[in-house]
Amino acid sequence: MKFTTLAALVGLGLATFAPAHAADITGAGATFPFPVYSKWAEAYRKDSGMGLNYQSIGSGGGIKQIQAKTVDFGATDAPLKGPALEKDGLVQFPTVMGGVVTVVNIAGVEPGKLKLTGEVIAEIYAGKIAKWSDPKIAKLNEGLKLPEANITPVYRSDASGTTNIFTTYLSQASESWKKEFGAATTVSWPVGQGGKGNEGVTATVKQVPNAIGYVESAYAKQNKLSHTLIQNKAGKFPQPDDKAFQAAAASADWKSAPGFGISLTDQAGDGAWPITAATFILVHKDPTDPAKAADVLKFFDWAYKNGDKLATDLDYVPLPDAVVGQIHDAWKEIKGKDGKPVFNM
């Protein structure tokens, strides 16, 4: 029997898929984890025969769909807070960690050569720095030839957890940004042009000369985009890789927020990437279809046990074993009509 599975179509920017077979798991939401969910889905189908149909529509869409119970799970990069989880009867848990990177399309500028700070990025997206030749950028990049060209900032046009992560960081790096725009899944961008999903931002940056955008690091890697370096809290410029994301999460207290909804941006440490984040899954505590909820948890349990290499190959960071244990405990809240947990270890 053939099952519809999540296609590895990141580079093509395709975000929706054919209707799922009745036995498939269905999910929708964040584009941030789409590359790794794609790899996991392909491997899981080979192991179990179970398919995954996932719509990469953005965190806002994923939250709406799980609230409406039109999917088996929702996915978000902007974790819901305790009251929202309680209101909708949801259990939230992280799957992997990764980084948001700024990417540019500047002729002659190779990946990892251009240096920026959070303050400079905030001024670019606020329209206060308009050219790549601006003295503030030149000072950070002595010896790097930059054009006398207008900058086109590219942003997410949809409700986006990636935007929430990015603007949370900008609000930490720039008091001016915090006051004028703040941190949210959508903000009132004063300049630039939008793209839908990480896929849309990726495509727009590739098409528009002298553009800058922000995407999950796997999109930059898979699409061979030129990432920039960003100065961290310690004043260093680490490369955005799994070691830098691990460094940012090294001292994270996952129990400090309901649904594991902690922030990993602007963390201390010489090697910490400043825009690091976890991505999250949402499942109903009292699912309409307990068997399907159990299938969702089986998939993610398989991923925790078997998906680490697939994740690290894409520069995502697997969760620490201790956190996975805490997640398994949280799953006990997801119960069937008999009042018993739908998933048993």
Matching CATH topology for 10-98+278-333 and 100-250?
yes
Inter-residue contact 232 to 264 (CB < 8 Å): no
Per-residue pLDDT of the chain (345 residues; tens, 9 = 90+): 333 333 333 333 333 444 445 579 999 999 999 999 999 999 999 999 999 999 999 999 999 999 999 999 999 999 999 999 999 999 999 999 999 999 999 999 999 999 999 999 999 999 999 999 999 999 999 999 999 999 999 999 999 999 999 999 999 999 999 999 999 999 999 999 999 999 999 999 999 999 999 999 989 998 999 999 999 999 999 999 989 999 998 878 898 999 999 999 999 999 999 999 999 999 999 999 999 999 999 999 999 999 999 999 998 999 999 999 999 999 999 999 999 999 987
DSSP string, 159-173: --HHHHHHHHHHHHH
Q: What pLDDT is stored for residue 228 in this prediction?
A: 98
For residue 104, report the phi and psi dihedrals to the nearest 5 degrees. -130, 160
Inter-residue contact 261 to 165 (CB < 8 Å): no
Q: What pLDDT is stored for residue 22 in this prediction?
A: 52
User: CATH assignment of 100-250?
Assistant: 3.40.190.10
Q: What does the alpha-carbon distance between residue 163 and residue 77 come to, in Å, rounded to a whole number?
A: 9
Could you give the C-alpha distances from 211 to 75, 92, 161, 311, in angstroms and in order? 28, 35, 21, 28
Three-state SS for 262?
coil
Q: What pLDDT is stored for residue 14 in this prediction?
A: 36
DSSP string, 309-337: HHHHHTT-EEPPHHHHHHHHHHGGG-B-T
Q: What pLDDT is stored for residue 137 in this prediction?
A: 98
Whether domain 10-98+278-333 has CATH 3.40.50.300: the reply is no
DSSP H stretches of helix in the chain: 34-48, 59-67, 82-88, 118-125, 135-140, 161-173, 175-180, 197-207, 217-222, 242-249, 290-306, 308-313, 321-330
**pTM, whole model, 2 decimals?**
0.86
Q: What pLDDT is stored for residue 116 in this prediction?
A: 98
Q: What does the alpha-carbon distance between residue 84 and residue 61 come to, in Å, rounded to a whole number?
A: 16
Burial annotation 207-242 (CB, 10 A radius, 16+ → b, else e): ebebbbbbbbbbbbbbbebbbbbbbbbeeeebebbb
Q: Which amino acid is at 145?
A: K
Any idea where the domains of the chain sit in the sequence? 10-98+278-333, 100-250
Q: What does the alpha-carbon distance between residue 120 and residue 117 come to, in Å, rounded to a whole number?
A: 5
